[in-house]
Amino acid sequence: MRPPAESLSSDQVDLHRWRTNHLDALERAIHESREHLVPWFPWAADTGRQQTADFLARMRRKWETGEAYGYAITSHAEVIGTCVLMRRIGAGGLEIGYWLHPARTGRGLVTMACTALTAQGFGLPGIDRIEIRHDAANHASGAVARRLGFTEVERVPAPEGPLAPAESGMDVIWRMTSDQWRTGPTFTFVRHTDGLRHRFERDGEHDGRPAYRRTDGNVWCVWSAAEGWHCRIADGRVTAHPADGRADGPVPPAAVWRSFKDDRSYLYDLWTEPGPFRA
């Protein structure tokens, strides 16, 4: 059974397979995050050095057996959280779990980490779906799934009821299929002044990310390290950006965009169509 890569990179974060030499860094991250974790994770109420060492030992064993693939989320070589691919939802499926240091939330870092993890998951033999499951009261976890483009498919009672103080006892299940991941979103730019529409569809990749081409012409919506998400024409000239500034998420943001060409400028809404990347 071929495992995923032991180290991954995604925008501003790096992922590294959990090793026993991560003990001090992980213990520190858990200690600093404890108030943030206790409402949602039963294990966080009773942590210590031995429990953390036991976790790292379990991650090593499960990697070797193929049960789960756990990673440290790092930024500038500092451990700031964890994410894991787990084989516990049946044949052909993987589940993603994650948490992040509270001082690092709100920056899209866990979304970046889970983007890399999802790509690795679909690179494994026989995987046709990946799911994210969280308690219905944990809106932050749901926001990550939504930004990644997963589709909410079901809400079911938690098998053992609420186990942590903030939990409702209702689980939300989000899913991405391999077909959805491969084809990516379809979206439309709608001009504010007159409702003019330009539709874009997935067409290859650019700088390691999905690329999208306007269906009626040679205009592209792509990401680059220099520009973030932007639109450009065939000769490479940039013609549009998100109006609020640079965007570096996994897909073009469903937001207001500003176009510019010669002396003209217009505002557009980017509307994602029903499907895996809906806003």
Inter-CA distances, 248 with 44, 97, 108, 179, 228, Å: 32, 22, 9, 23, 5
What band does 269 get if pLDDT is binned at 50, 70 and 90? very high
- The tokens for 197 are 């529409």
Average pLDDT of the chain is 90
Beta-sheet strands, E only, within 209-255: 209-214, 219-224, 228-233, 238-242
Q: What pLDDT score does 273 carry? A: 60
Q: What pLDDT score does 1 carry? A: 64
272 has pLDDT over 80: no
pLDDT tens column, 95-124: 999 999 999 998 888 988 898 898 899 889
Span 16-29, average pLDDT: 97
Q: What pLDDT score does 186 carry? A: 81
Percent of the chain with pLDDT over 70: 95
279 has pLDDT over 70: no
Report the C-alpha gap between 45 and 51 in whole angstroms: 11
- pTM of the prediction? 0.72
pLDDT tens column, 127-148: 999 999 999 999 999 988 887 8
Span 180-192, average pLDDT: 83
Q: What pLDDT score does 233 carry? A: 94
> For residue 86, what is the enclosing H or E element?
strand 78-86
Q: Which residue is it, tokens 């090793």?
A: 19
What does the CA dihedral 1, 128, 15, 102 come to, rounded to 10 degrees? Answer: -140
Q: What pLDDT score does 276 carry? A: 36
* Phi, psi values for residue 148, rounded to 5°: -70, -15
Report the C-alpha gap between 256 and 246 in whole angstroms: 12
pLDDT tens column, 213-253: 999 888 999 999 899 999 999 889 999 999 989 988 767 88
* Eight-state DSSP code of residue 251: S
Q: What pLDDT score does 234 carry? A: 86
What band does 278 get if pLDDT is binned at 50, 70 and 90? very low
Span 156-163, average pLDDT: 93
Buried b (16+ CB within 10 A) or exposed e, 249-271: bbbbbbeebebeeeeeebebebe
* Phi, psi values for residue 118, rounded to 5°: -65, -45
Span 18-30, average pLDDT: 97
Q: What pLDDT score does 175 carry? A: 95
Span 5-14, average pLDDT: 86
